[in-house]
Amino acid sequence: MNKITGLIAATFAAYREDGTINLDIIPTIVDKLIADGLSGVFICGTNGEGPNLTVEERMSIAEAYVKAAAKRILVLVHVGHSSIHECRKLAAHAEQIGADAISSVAAFYFKPTSVDNLVKSMAQIASAAPNTPFYYYSIPTLTGVGMDMITFLEQAEKVIPNLAGIKYTASTLHEYQACVNYKNGKFDILFGYDEMLLPALAVGAKGAIGSTYTFAAPLYLKVIKLYNEGKQDEAAAMQLHSVNMVRALVKYPPIPAQRAIMKMEGLELGNCRLPLEPLSESQSTQFKTFLNEIGFFDIVKQSR
């Protein structure tokens, strides 16, 4: 698999009123993302509530995305779980249905204790889908597993033949840059902090995965375009719109708040699962008012 360029949307889980998974909406989501100019989808991750879903539900979602994408857009399947046995099941299934890549977080209950231990764990997962590119998903703020990623690459490349790179969701840009340049750019290091996309481009990012690309991709694609044209000030001004939106977003629980934005854009995803709770009506109204005040929806529309 070649390195991924452009933006990958980390999509959200969709539920019916009775709390079951809504698979019917997936083709609509995929078509929207293709129309928005995205390069792919990352499913069942943090925003897709992977840890809140059963393995069977995750398999059904993966099948629905692969079918809806029909090779028009990449499908990256997150297979992380607190049980490596379940990870392997999800990985093998993803390969069998023709997913373009798989990714896994570190176990988040019994956590890896060293880079060596982390590499052994990831090697077990990746080996269940030997013909599918594997990305380690580093997200220390959620897993509590923060280790040196250069050391990880040095050790992992020896034992994970299908290692494609890292989904790098951390704000440590110096380490990100080191990973991008490891062995003259041997690995695909996908950046995962949407509000820091511009600084990541400045240190060599070519591909990124993020949740806000699900509803604001045109804004970020404009950042990339302006940056590539050497229009630094305009790119910074465009990135600031993302920063302002994220600053508003984090006043609420981030996943429910982003789901509320999807609803504001006309895609009803239903209520998330406990312990996540949807925004209250007053929170949602307050949030929408603020987004309108900063002109967020207009900026996304004008960026198309």
Residue 85: other Cβ atoms inside 10 A: 11
Residue from 167, 176, 193, 213 carrying the catalytic annotation: 167
For residue 116, give Cα distances in angstroms to 37, 102, 123, 156. 39, 21, 10, 9
Residue with tokens 């398999």: 59
136, 137, 168, 220: the catalytic one is 137
CB 7 within 8 A of CB 225: no
Please indicate whether residue 89 is annotated as part of the active site: no
Q: Is 137 a catalytic residue?
A: yes
CB of 304 closer than 8 Å to CB of 218:
yes
Pairing of strands 101-104, 40-43: unpaired
CB contact set of 227 (below 8 Å; sequence gap of 6+): 198, 201, 202, 235
Give the max Cα distance, the chain: 53
Binding residue per annotation — 209? yes
Residue set of the binding site for pyruvate? 209
Residues belonging to the active site? 137, 167
